[in-house]
Amino acid sequence: MDARPETTAGEGPLPAGHPPVRTGKVGVLIANLGSPSGTDVPAVRRYLKEFLSDRRVIETPRLLWWLILNGIILRTRPAKTGHAYAIVWNTERNEAPLITITRAQAEKLAGRLDDDAIVVDWAMRYGEPAIADRIAALKDLGCDRILFAPLYPQYAAATTATANDAAFTALAAMRWQPAIRTLPPYHDDAVYIEALANSLEAGLAALDFAPEVVVASFHGLPRDYLDKGDPYHCQCHKTTRLLRERLGWPKERLRLTFQSRFGRAEWLQPYTDVTITELAKSGVKAIALITPGFSADCLETLEEIAIRGRETFEAAGGERYAMIPCLNDSADGMRLIEHLVRRELQGWV
């Protein structure tokens, strides 16, 4: 793609003393949920306050939720969450694994696209680097068109939509906005299903035992979000069905569950922790878990599933347990991201 000349919005030369206006490049901004800047209580509290104040994430009436959040959760939860982060923290880089992996995905994507007219960057919905900051940075680099790509395979208002909200809010503050496209959900994309199958088959082949059951654990949502029309539940089921068909497995071999619930309200079922407890108590001695809804390993996969999930299974009588890593920046994972980005950039590059 040929870069257009640096000019003002019209065709004439720039006024004297006016900084050059860069145009003619295409930006790709991949995004994920985010992580606190540290494992200490103040850092975790800041992160949780931003995350749990999002009206897309928590739909409880505002006054009631403000009292619960500030009166209970932000007083008690940061220490416990910080301890969990400390267990999986990347001490070498002093950052959460999600940050490390998302950066690596962006760097590898830039190398795979290998086009001077495309600028690849990354951002987080909560915490740093902020979506608004990275959109502004891409615009300053001459990107007058930006593909915003939240890496959530299954669409949910609490994930994809709130990330898009942040991008559109950033544009709302700009006089000269870049054109923007957003990545749609890819829960049934053939390249995604193939990547999951390859990852699962390779992960199982590397184990020194044969799991009797594989559990596909997706992040949970309150049940009433489904009742209000959120498609997430259906898309998780379709992903699991397509993966099961690709593998040629019966339904009993690959089971779908939902994790990470909190509070007293009903969430999407079946619950992951309850399921693996029931499996162990029924006599199943060996299981493996995959987390197809996560594009990168994070607290919810590395601590909740890999560590606490094992403890739950073994406490109920299970013996052999494994977690298959997310696609991350693996060859299959990067092939998928490149496929999605190239598809969405058609007509721009």
The pLDDT assigned to 264 comes to 86
Domain with CATH 3.40.50.1400 in the chain: 190-323
Q: How many CA atoms lie within 13 A of 156 on its CB side?
A: 27
Q: Give counts: helices (H), strands (E), the chain.
A: 13, 8
Q: What is the pLDDT, as a whole number, of residue 5? A: 44
Whether the CB-CB separation of 299 and 88 falls below 8 Å is answered with: yes
Res 17: pLDDT: 66
* CB distance 262 to 76 below 8 Å: no
Alpha-carbon distance values, 188 to 89, 233, 241, 293 (Å) = 32, 13, 10, 12
pLDDT of residue 288: 98
What pLDDT does residue 22 have? 78
Q: Which residue has the tokens 């559109």?
A: 168
Dist. CA 225–CA 306, nearest whole Å: 27
For 16, other C-beta atoms within 10 Å of its C-beta total 5
210 phi-psi bin (left φ>0, alpha ψ -120 to 50, beta other): beta
- Strand 286-290 versus strand 213-219 pairing type: parallel
3-state secondary structure 79-95: HHHHHHHHHHCECCCCE
- Which listed CATH number (3.40.190.10, 3.40.50.11540, 3.40.50.1400, 1.10.3080.10) goes with 190-323? 3.40.50.1400
Candidates 183, 210, 213; CA nearest to 282 is 213
Closest CA to 145 of 175, 119, 163: 119
Q: 156, 172 in Cβ contact below 8 A? A: no
How high is the pLDDT of residue 85?
Answer: 98
**For position 3, what pLDDT does the model report?**
44
List the chain pLDDT tens, one digit each, 349 residues. Answer: 444 444 445 556 667 665 667 789 999 999 999 999 999 999 999 999 999 999 999 999 999 999 999 999 999 999 999 999 999 999 999 999 999 999 999 999 999 999 999 999 999 999 999 999 999 999 999 999 999 999 999 999 999 999 999 999 999 999 999 999 999 999 999 999 999 999 999 999 999 999 999 999 999 999 999 999 999 999 999 999 999 999 999 999 999 999 999 888 999 999 999 999 999 999 999 999 999 999 999 999 999 999 999 999 999 999 999 999 999 999 999 999 999 999 999 999 9
